[in-house]
Structure 1
């Protein structure tokens, strides 16, 4: 099996692990376990809490002491054990701390997956910007496949979804140890305090455009997990009104259109980055989020079904143009000696600070618009749409970046 195929397997399993529960577990906790919106939001916010420190910490370890592919395997094995325990939990407090442990060891693997892919491709002299997106698209395929397995197995409201995720995590944990070695960079540290602690990637904040980019990555990270957290719970609330609709019977399959859309938009990233540059690509992402939430606000499983489908399709642009393009932008801005640390820092800002604030605050928003157990989903989604609209208005004025078409292909920085 050639190296591209091996990375495809890694990316497929990486996101199969997540896709097995990320979208469906919100509905499981609300419908089956009877948790409140605030409780569900706080449990999803554990991903953000863990990402405040774990991706950066693990990235530092990978850059300085332990092979990245070995850390990837270790983290997945520990994460799988926590999911096996979570499948047996029914009270909020225990579920919160169990999922916090899982988040502490799963969230760093997203950045590690990227850095391992980049390192292996670069070692073989393969163009990362050109070939990584087609490899990464198989991660989305894995995510979609996992969602379909859970939906067709009728496990969306069952703890079985956690057992499926744990089994795939064990498989990936073992597989990671067979990947090519991604050894720590042999770089002489400059003797500074940040270098001594291994926090070299924080020097990226010295660049104004990179600092602004990270701040908006945090704000978009807050939006990133909202539909993951409450998307299926939203659809399940139509059970009484549209009991025989496709959306209510197969919510995970409907939600998976979002990830199917990702597979298409990922493949367009090299074209859009070269043609328009990171600034315009990020702006496209922000306004795609506005549409994502707005269409949810006016959609329903009946005569508004097409609006739900359109919301799923636009998600591909919203997610990929921010997450994948942003990861590539950070790679271009960082030196190879801090590759893993830089990816960990990107994760800290998006799936860390951003996701934590997004999970907690979105839970408050859902509870605010809930009266006597009835959730006003239109107001909820339009509130989120308004938030991202503000980001879209402000971003082009504060992110100073002049596009150089050759920079997105060669990997050199753009012009400030």
Structure 2
């Protein structure tokens, strides 16, 4: 890959996840402090990402894989998203904020698959090249959290500024996208079916038993994931941790380090072991959160945060590469959109619907009983891990053997 393309793709990844991390981490705290939201309302706000993720594959299949270049669609969506985020920062109440964030997530979630698609189209060996590009997205998330902590927006009840910061970054990425290396739609011979236009042909991947089990596991593991995304920042603030968003960025530091090691782990562990280790890390993380505090068990809070690198990279990044290796050349964008639907769509939607009422059920006069709350996702993650270990039988590394040889 050319150096200029690598720089552009890395910058794209940095901004893509800076935008998301700029407001998403502190959303729950923002809603409680600025808009007096309940736990159920917080879950509804986070549920919007699932709505966007469910719609994303159809946008990708209908547009990116058939009619227009992926990088141009990426630019249009981020320019539109910039306007919506700015309007969201002006919302006076949850009733005004909620519809704006619904529309925004419908616009943003397809871009997660698009940045992967644009990247993979420039790579001859994704298993080796993708992690070093994707890691810049993790760094972008880290920088967003450190910026919020440095400026003290959590302590000064100024979290509405996070949306303005994200809006500015979205505008920049929107413009940058039109300069990215081309990812044109793949030309097809003959008549095009409705399934192909809508991106539904990517569902053929589910005919592979191993991939079907991975797909179902992706849906299930995102149920406990919703607890982390929706309530960790609120939990840390209620626990008395200062600059919680900045401390949470340690999770992305860990993610960046493990991201760079993924090629090595592919060779030594294989896909099944990597996915299993990622799920096991979720169990351990929630146990740490359940029994941690800012006093004698402060190390548990930090350990739970740092485990994010294992939780995310070993399952989600491995899953993206695994998906790309199974997708045909014609459906790479649609396949990435489909796994986005499974994780951030269906799985996170179920998790959001479940987590909000559970958090409200354990509300106390001075906050929440977080020990009991975190034991719920720990139990769910443990069950998913057990079922995965029993039923997922594929033992070979599921990326092309030529790619594995290149990593050696």
TM-score normalised to structure 2 length: 0.94
C-alpha RMSD over aligned residues: 1.8
Q: Mind listing any 5+ residue stretches in structure 2 that lack a counterpart? A: none
> Hey, what does 1:71 align to over in structure 2?
73
Alignment length (residue pairs): 400
> Hey, what does 1:136 align to over in structure 2?
134
Alignment partners' CA distance in 2, 1:12 and 1:192: 36
| Superimposed CA distance per residue, residues 313-365 of structure 1 (whole angstroms, 9 cap, x where no aligned partner) | 11110011111110000000000100000000000000100111111211111
Alignment partners' CA distance in 2, 1:24 and 1:75: 23
> Hey, what does 2:37 align to over in structure 1?
35
More off after superposition, 267-276 vs 282-291: 267-276
More off after superposition, 365-374 vs 32-41: 365-374
2:382 pairs with 1:395 = no
CA 1:249–1:409 in 2, change beyond 3 Å: closer, same or farther? farther
Alignment partners' CA distance in 1, 2:293 and 2:190: 56
**Contact 1:287/1:392 (CA < 8 Å) preserved in 2?**
yes
| Superimposed CA distance per residue, residues 59-115 of structure 1 (whole angstroms, 9 cap, x where no aligned partner) | 431010010000111111111111101101132222111111110011111110101
> Hey, what does 2:195 align to over in structure 1?
194
More off after superposition, 221-230 vs 187-196: 187-196
Query: Offset at 1:22?
Result: 1.1
Query: Offset at 1:193?
Result: 4.7
Query: Offset at 1:179?
Result: 0.8
> Hey, what does 1:256 align to over in structure 2?
249
Alignment partners' CA distance in 1, 2:36 and 2:104: 21
Candidates 324, 340, 347, aligned match of 1:347: 340
Q: Which runs of 4+ in 1 moved over 4 A?
A: 189-193
Alignment of 1:237-386 (within 5 A): 237-239=238-240, 248-372=241-365, 374-386=367-379
Alignment partners' CA distance in 2, 1:132 and 1:14: 15
Alignment partners' CA distance in 1, 2:390 and 2:56: 32
SS at match of 2:393: coil
Query: Offset at 1:280?
Result: 0.9
More off after superposition, 49-58 vs 99-108: 49-58
Alignment partners' CA distance in 1, 2:398 and 2:275: 16
Alignment partners' CA distance in 2, 1:200 and 1:373: 51
| Superimposed CA distance per residue, residues 28-73 of structure 1 (whole angstroms, 9 cap, x where no aligned partner) | 1112321001100110011011211224422431010010000111
SS at match of 1:121: coil
**Contact 1:221/1:351 (CA < 8 Å) preserved in 2?**
yes
Alignment of 1:133-282 (within 5 A): 133-156=131-154, 157=157, 158-188=159-189, 192-239=193-240, 248-282=241-275
Query: Offset at 1:368?
Result: 1.5
More off after superposition, 172-181 vs 54-63: 54-63
Alignment partners' CA distance in 2, 1:60 and 1:116: 16
> Hey, what does 1:106 align to over in structure 2?
108
Q: Mind listing any 5+ residue stretches in structure 1 that lack a counterpart? A: 240-247
CA 1:386–1:67 in 2, change beyond 3 Å: closer, same or farther? same
TM-score normalised to structure 1 length: 0.92
Query: Offset at 1:267?
Result: 1.0
Query: Offset at 1:372?
Result: 4.3
Query: Offset at 1:405?
Result: 8.0
**Contact 1:55/1:107 (CA < 8 Å) preserved in 2?**
no
More off after superposition, 196-205 vs 11-20: 196-205
**Contact 1:274/1:405 (CA < 8 Å) preserved in 2?**
no
> Hey, what does 1:242 align to over in structure 2?
none
More off after superposition, 80-89 vs 399-408: 399-408
Alignment partners' CA distance in 2, 1:95 and 1:22: 14
CA 1:285–1:295 in 2, change beyond 3 Å: closer, same or farther? same
Query: Offset at 1:404?
Result: 4.3
